[in-house]
Amino acid sequence: MDNRKPVTLHRLREMHAAGEKIAVLTCYDAAFARLLDGAGVDALLVGDSLGMVLQGRTSTLPVSIEEMAYHTGCVARGNRNAWIIADMPFGSYQESAETALRNAALLMKQGAHMVKLEGGGWTASIVRLLVERGIPVCAHLGFTPQSVHALGGYRVQGRDEAAARVLCRQAEELAAAGAELLVLELVPAAVAHELTGTLSIPTIGIGAGAGCSGQVLVLYDMLGVTGGEPLKFVRNFMDGSASVESAVRKYVAEVKDGRFPDDAIHSF
C-alpha cells in the first residue's frame, strides 16, 4: 500500500465522520512499523506495553520516558504513512503540567504525531495544556494499566450504573479539553457503544466491543506469540495465515468490515 496517503488527524476525523473503522496495532520497532504501515494499519501505538511484551516485566509501571522516546524514534524511522501515537509512561505526566509538557515534547521530537495518557478527572487539565501547545492527545479510560494496583488487578470497568456514569462524564470532559481520540479498555460493550454514539471524537476499543469507532490490539497478542492463555478480547490472526503480513492484513480487513471483534466472543 505504498501509494496510500499519509494518515493525518484530518483523515482520522474524516474516517470517523464517514463511519469507517480505524485499525490500530501496537508497534515498537522500525521493521514492524514498515510491515504494519505497508499492510494498511491506520495508526501505530508505541505502547508502554513494551514493558511486558519486550522487557518481560509484570506491568507497564517500570517503563521510562527515555525508553518510550527510543522506541518512538525506531517506529518513526520505519513508518511512512501511518499515524503514530506514543504512550506517556507512568510518572511522565502525573507530577506537574510542566513535566507533562516536557515529556510530551520529547516524544513528539522523536516522531510521534500524538501522545496518549491514561485516566480521567485531573487529566483533563493536562490534555488542555498539551493541545493548546500544538500536541494532539489520545485519552485512555476504562481499565488503565498504569493504575493496575489501584484498580485491584485486570478488571472490567464501568459494569454498574454509577461507574458507567463516571466513565461517560470523564470521557466528555476529555473531549471538551481537546482530546482527539479515546481508547476504551475493558469496558462493557453496551457502555462503549452508547458512549461512542454521544462523543464527537473516535473511540478505539480494546475489550470494549464492536461498537467503537476502531480497534487496537497488542501486536504480539494478535500474532499469538505472547504465550499463556489468551485474553478474552484477543484473537490470534496468525491462525490460518501464511505470513505475519497476511495476518496483519486480515486484522485490518476484519476491523474495517466489523467482523472483529465479535461481541458474542470477544466482549464483556
Distances (CA, A) of 130 to 87, 90, 149, 205, 237: 14, 17, 27, 23, 36
Measured distance between the N- and C-terminal CA atoms of the chain, rounded to whole angstroms: 34
Cα 86 to Cα 49: distance, rounded to the nearest angstrom: 11
Q: Do the Cβ atoms of 198 and 177 come closer than 8 Å?
A: no
User: Taken in order 257, 26, 208, 118, is the CA torsion positive or negative?
Assistant: negative
Which of 140, 249, 256, 258 is CA-nearest to residue 203? Answer: 140
DSSP bridge partners of 25: 44, 217
Q: Do the Cβ atoms of 155 and 147 come closer than 8 Å?
A: no
DSSP label at residue 179 = -
> Strand (E) positions, 66-149?
83-87, 114-118, 137-142
Which of 173, 165, 175 is CA-nearest to residue 200? Answer: 175
173 is catalytic: no
Q: Which of 118, 173, 180, 185 is catalytic?
A: 185
Q: Which residues form the catalytic set?
A: 185
